[in-house]
Structure 1
Amino acid sequence: MADVRTDGRIERGDRTRRLILRRTVDIASVEGLEGLSLGRLATELGLSKSGVFALFGSKEDLQLATVRAAGRIFLDHVVVPVAELAPGTDRVWRLCTGWLAYSRDRVFRGGCFFAFVSAEYASREGRVRDAVAAARAEWHSFLERTLSEARQAGELSRDADVPQLAFEIAALLEAANTASVLDGDPSGYGKAASGILSRLRASATAAARLPSEV
């Protein structure tokens, strides 16, 4: 019986933790990680402050958990959908259009979570900054690796500068997000897609495997 009661408490704690983190990722995507507080979350979600504190311990722990939760959501919406696709330019293209849809469809209320918090923590030090930087680096590494695999598969020219191409693609994706969030201009998504497609077709060994236009 004690085990049943313990399991029930753990399950309720896990549900509460997920509820809190779903709220914190949305808050942080609009107000930044500094906008999080244990008291605010307790009030908004109708929870006790001591209960929220018991789950996270400190504001920094809450911020770190929020970064991890946002990373899992990002993976689910952007990376997982292309995970089983064969290496090649189509996989790269689908990865990029998936990222644009993730921002455009407001998976996070403030657009790309990591674009916002990267700017927030760019000039800071500490564990939260390191977690944000690591998540950003992981995404860029995955993009570059996906391009490298397309080149190894013979679908990008052997002399394609993969790091440069990855940098340019990431810049276009982030510019589209910024234009939408800051300027209220959704046309940036189409412009970014056109620019990425143009760069991929210019480096592709078989451009016919890519769309001719957005």
Structure 2
Amino acid sequence: MSPRNSAVEARRTKARIIERSVALASVDGLEGLTIGRLATDLGLSKAGVLGHFGTKEALQLATLERASTVFTALVWDPAADSEPGLRRLRAVCESWISYLEHARETFPGGCLFTTAAVEFDAHDGPVRRTLARLLLVWRRRLAGEVRLAVDAGELPADTDPEQIVHELTGIYLALNQALQLLRDPLAATRTRRALHRVLAS
């Protein structure tokens, strides 16, 4: 095999490991990722898995970054072409519901970020810092849309964007729990009702 083909194959293998890690972490958490489980699932040796990352922590960080990319593709990108402000914010909220309801192939255990936040909120270190950074980036993006809606007169002038984002975050944490733990068939309907109140123009 040529060096070029070897490099391509290495990238493919690393991508497979990360994709499987995202799925496993959504169910078992980032701490539940084990080199042995990944090796068995993917038909690789333990050394073959570890060689791509060096440490479990590096694998966890790569898993978070990949999950963030997938989340953006599933939640933000479908709404990206909507009119900025309230219309785009509502479109994002709808695709966020769809992500939690239907992205089972990628996230069989529900929102990986919700699982990871519970795992790492009382810890310190690179994984917690990366998780917090990714969540803050998302919150700032949402707050930006709220500000655009306020500037366009779509929301009251005294609207606090950070408060809206705080409430949206709570709504989606509740939706994830209702879907995953409670198997509530009305979870999405209840979420849309809550969104209607929070984003009333």
Q: Secondary structure at the match of 2:181?
A: helix
- Do structure 1's residue 108 and structure 2's residue 107 form an aligned pair? yes
The aligned residue for residue 149 of structure 1 is: 148
The aligned residue for residue 30 of structure 1 is: 27
- Report if the CA contact (8 A) 2:82-2:91 is conserved: no
The aligned residue for residue 186 of structure 1 is: 185
The aligned residue for residue 119 of structure 2 is: 120
Distance 1:149 1:13 in 2: 44
Provide the alpha-carbon RMSD of the alignment. 1.3
Cα offsets for 1:41-67 (capped at 9, x unmatched): 111110122121111111111111100
User: For residue 119 of structure 2, what is the amino acid of its counterpart?
Assistant: E
**Greater mean alpha carbon deviation, residues 59-68 or residues 107-116:** 107-116
The aligned residue for residue 197 of structure 2 is: 198
Q: For this pair of structures, how many residues does the alignment match?
A: 199
Cα offsets for 1:118-139 (capped at 9, x unmatched): 1111101111111111111111
Indicate which of 74, 78, 84 corresponds to 1:77.
74
- Unaligned runs of 5+ residues in structure 2 are none
- Report if the CA contact (8 A) 1:177-1:189 is conserved: no
The aligned residue for residue 96 of structure 2 is: 99
Once the two structures are aligned, what percentage of the paired residues are identical? 37
- Do structure 1's residue 158 and structure 2's residue 157 form an aligned pair? yes
- Do structure 1's residue 137 and structure 2's residue 128 form an aligned pair? no
Kindly state the Cα deviation for residue 85 of structure 1 after the two structures are TM-superposed: 2.0
Distance 2:124 2:65 in 1: 18
Kindly state the Cα deviation for residue 140 of structure 1 after the two structures are TM-superposed: 1.3
Distance 2:13 2:148 in 1: 41
Distance 1:93 1:197 in 2: 9
Indicate which of 36, 42, 48 corresponds to 1:39.
36
Which of structures 1 and 2 has the bigger CA Rg?
1
Cα offsets for 1:94-118 (capped at 9, x unmatched): 1111111100113411111111111
- Unaligned runs of 5+ residues in structure 1 are 205-214
Kindly state the Cα deviation for residue 10 of structure 1 after the two structures are TM-superposed: 1.2
Distance 2:125 2:148 in 1: 34
Kindly state the Cα deviation for residue 165 of structure 1 after the two structures are TM-superposed: 1.4
The normalised TM-score by structure 2 is 0.94
The normalised TM-score by structure 1 is 0.89
Indicate which of 4, 20, 28 corresponds to 1:7.
4
Distance 1:28 1:153 in 2: 40
Distance 1:169 1:34 in 2: 27
Kindly state the Cα deviation for residue 152 of structure 1 after the two structures are TM-superposed: 1.7
Distance 2:77 2:43 in 1: 34
**Greater mean alpha carbon deviation, residues 118-127 or residues 48-57:** 48-57
Q: Secondary structure at the match of 2:108?
A: coil
